Amino acid sequence: MEALGRSDSAARVRERIVHYPGAVRIPASDVELYIVRNFLSLAECAALVALIDADRVPSPVVADDPVPSYRTSETCYLYPGPDAVAVVESKLDELTGIESVFGEPLQGQRYAVGQEFKPHHDFFDTTQHYWRNQVPIGGQRTWSAMTFLNEPTEGGRTNFPTANVVIAPKAGNLVIWNNMDVLGRPNPGSLHQGMPVEQGVKYVLTKWYRERPWG
């Protein structure tokens, strides 16, 4: 089975995304970034919000010395079983063409007023000790897919600072980006943040893909 992080594999994912209904590449020199409008229906979003609210816990941070204030949202792990999860997984398979074995379990996040995820990369820092634990369970993260499930009254945008792109939450819209560069190496230009919610609550759904089968 071919490693997903290679540039030729990325090309196949790219070809799949650009032909998906509602998909548009966002002009950015530092990161390969797309938005897919109306990826989920409002009813599908509502069902996922209900699942998140039923089983959320403080969001983890993967690092050698994690700082809790860096990521202050709550997370719900959405494992296979509920119909709402199956629908999303099927749509992601259709969007990316990536075999499901490469995907981590879906995660839902809830951000209340003041909560945020400060600037970070989704790929793993291979110089840190935690990387040794990631190698046998799929290795490096490649693509990230994030779907907005609602719209907070104010704030909660997703910012790619080095790419000068800021995306406002819109229920049902998906944002997907490649954490690797054109040579299949971790791309510093994929730096991004979940900006603080200023009014209301924000819900998102996140899917990360690995270079090798997960788990």
Q: Does the pLDDT value for residue 7 go beyond 70?
A: no
Q: State the pLDDT at residue 62.
A: 61
Which conformational region is residue 81 in: left (phi greater than 0), alpha (psi within -120 to 50 degrees), or beta?
A: left
Q: State the pLDDT at residue 152.
A: 98
Q: State the pLDDT at residue 59.
A: 74
**Interval 156-212: pLDDT, tens:** 999 999 999 999 999 999 999 999 998 899 999 999 999 999 999 999 999 999 999
Q: Cα angle vertex 150, ends 144, 154, to 5°?
A: 105
Going along the chain from its start, the domains and CATH numbers come out as: 7-210 (2.60.120.620)
pLDDT (average), residues 42-67: 82
Q: Where are the beta strands (DSSP E) in 45-94?
A: 57-58, 74-78
Among 61-65, 94-98, 206-210, which is the least confidently predicted range? 61-65
- 2 pLDDT band (50/70/90 cuts)? low
b or e along 192-201 (b: 16 or more beta carbons within 10 Å of the residue's beta carbon)? bbbbbbeebb
Q: Does the pLDDT value for residue 111 go beyond 60?
A: yes
Q: State the pLDDT at residue 44.
A: 98
3-state secondary structure of 49: helix
Q: State the pLDDT at residue 92.
A: 98
Tokens linked to 202: 């924000």
